[in-house]
Amino acid sequence: MKTLIIRILLTLTLLTLSGLPLLAQAEGEDESQWTSHLKNQFFGDRPISEDHEAIEITAPYRAEDPALVPIQITSKFPQTGTQFIKKVTVIIDHNPTPFSASFEFTLESGKADIATRMRVNAYTYIRAIAETNDGKLHMAKAFVKASGGCSAPIGADSEDAKARFGKMKFKFDQDKPTLGSANPVQLLISHPNITGMQMDQISRIIQPAHYVTDVKVSFDGKPVLTVKGDIALSTDPNFRFYFAPEKAGELHVDIKDNLGQQFSANQSVNP
Amino acid sequence: MRDLAPKEPPTPSPMPSLAKPFCNHLKALSLLIGGLGNLGFSSHPIAEPLAIKEVANGVYVHQGSHLLPNPQNHGEIANIGFVVGNHCVAVIDTGGSQEQGQRLKAAITTTTEVPICYVINTHVHPDHIYGNRAFKSPGVEFVGHYRLAAAMAMRAPYYLVQAKDQLGLTLNAEDFVPPDLEVRDTLDLDLGGRTLHLIAHPKAHTDNDLSIFDTASETLWLGDLLFMGHVPVIDGSLLGWLKTIDQLPSITAKRVIPGHGPITALWPLALAGEKRYLESLAHDIRAAQKANKTIEQAMNEIGQEHRADWQLFDDFHRRNIASGFAELEWEDPSPEPPMKNPGRSNP
């Protein structure tokens, strides 16, 4: 009898032990949200190929700060009349709001690269789905281990952060842009981008969601980058992208948040 | 500057400890919760006293260890302790779990018969506050930075999930005991024969850092404003922390107790390592931004020369860069950053 119990216990232990790696793997490489509904929700029954022909995505495997995860999407070809990327959509499977951002590019973008910082709430795939001018969809994905990025406290309530609310600035890599080619530029937006998930269990006060929903960058009136944002964008949204000026002109940005507040900024570009 | 100089007692002298219990509703609530807590622990009525050392007359410290919080150590990793006066004991930080709080309490009751009047939290981090609940009882006042309650409230939902996932602790909202006495600038607590001078600092390690100076032994208790051995972790403001580090030496003390590191160290020499690391971080991030480097490049390249100096470097350094980078992007004037602290002192 005693041996039987020991055997049962042993079997149970072994089962548990052998089950662990499976469980970890299932948790680690979970495609279920995507296959069960996310894909259909955002792209219907359109085919999406994971072919690495249009874009690559780079994100840290282990996110040191889940509220500030750098994500880079790199295009495989320049924006030309015959071949270009129209739009890249970023979906974070296990975030409370999986839709994280979308980025629309034009020929004036020069190159459809985008780098930004996002909140990641769980161990999850981050997917970038690019739509090329031929209407095809190409997906690249990266797995990120993070937790709590969306409910992590926001330090953007300080006096200096309030004072610069709505301020924006452009930063260039070079002093002067090169005409006729894609030039990198960075847009910094001072905005707390509050997720609305910082629920206060003690006072029952919720910091209401307050985040940037629209960013429109144009050069001389022609769109360069159009962003739809959501709560996944980190505090002080930051975008690195390209624009291809043919002559001197003005970069212009308009942003809008979910409370209807609007801000804009200009930056003259003199080659 | 002025705020940091220890003052003579005149600021609100505390109520005599016996007159306290009926102050407000919180107290009534604390009675109830304290009772419930005791019920929960009735199977272990006497906790094993935590190992402590007396670093100065009446000043006792338990040394934490340089570990990441995990289910084995339940986040019991910080230096915590207490100060014994003639009439009152003040607890300074309560540890990473209610159990560690119980053990600290056991260490106090085996050390002295003087009652516990105050429980001071140096800041909101779990390894310093999760033992609070063990001390909830009539006559005990919780003391913290005026932003501590808000920080606890903001972080509680996130911390509850983390406690379950990463510490193996099941906590609820009652484990976050907000301060009864809030320190806006400074506050003196009279323990009988000795006064604790508390200073609420602007945003540095967190936005709710409190330092404690014991006038009798001239001991400065810095909480996580001072890391030694364990790499500093920025959860407030890199520049704010550097500013605080510049001001702290105006306090004249015989010794300092860091939040992580040895139980006592020489003052202000003990600040040097942390200062060197944070200054170098700020300098290198500014330089990276001036050279138009990306946050990813900065996270990969900056500060690797400090690895050998610190434990848990790989666990927090990149995160420090990321948060410092995001902060310094909005430093004014950004194109030509002022280089007030031109980097490391001794390469």
For residue A181, tell me if it sits in a domain. yes
Give the whole-angstrom CA distance, residue A97 versus residue A74. 24
* pLDDT number for residue B263: 97
Give the whole-angstrom CA distance, residue B194 versus residue B188. 10
For residue A204, tell me if it sits in a domain. yes
Strands (DSSP E) found in B167-303: 181-183, 186-190, 195-200, 210-214, 219-227, 255-260, 265-266
Give the rounded distance of the alpha carbon of A126 from its chain centre. Answer: 8
**A8 token code pair:** 């049962």
In this complex, the residue of B153, B237, B319 whose CB is nearest that of residue A64 is B319
Cβ distance of A147 and B162 shorter than 8 Å: yes
- Among the residue ranges A125-139, B24-38, B95-109, B210-224, the one predicted with the least confidence is B24-38
Region A168-191: what's the mean pLDDT?
Answer: 91
For residue A254, tell me if it sits in a domain. yes
Cβ distance of B237 and A155 shorter than 8 Å: yes
For residue A223, tell me if it sits in a domain. yes
For residue A19, tell me if it sits in a domain. no
Instruction: State the DSSP code for B94.
Output: -
Say which residue the tokens 């006495």 belong to: B181
Total number of domains in chain A: 1
Residue pair B199/B233 in contact (Cβ under 8 Å)? The answer is: no
Confidence of residue B333 (pLDDT cuts 50, 70, 90): low
Provide the residue range defining the domain that includes A211.
Answer: 30-269
Residue B236 has pLDDT above 70, yes or no: yes
For residue B147, the distance in angstroms to the closest alpha carbon of chain A comes to 12
- Among the residue ranges A28-42, B87-101, B290-304, the one predicted with the least confidence is A28-42
- What is the domain-level CATH number for residue A218? 2.60.40.10
Return the CATH class of domain B8-267: alpha beta
Cβ distance of B154 and A198 shorter than 8 Å: yes
Q: pLDDT tens-digit profile of A126-143? A: 999 999 999 999 999 999
* pLDDT number for residue A158: 63
Q: Does B203 touch chain A (CB under 8 A)?
A: yes
Residue pair B95/B177 in contact (Cβ under 8 Å)? The answer is: no
Give the whole-angstrom CA distance, residue B293 versus residue A126. 24
Q: pLDDT tens-digit profile of A51-101? A: 989 999 999 998 888 899 999 999 999 999 999 999 999 999 999 899 999
**B304 token code pair:** 């690797």
* pLDDT number for residue B272: 98
Q: pLDDT tens-digit profile of A261-271? A: 999 999 999 88
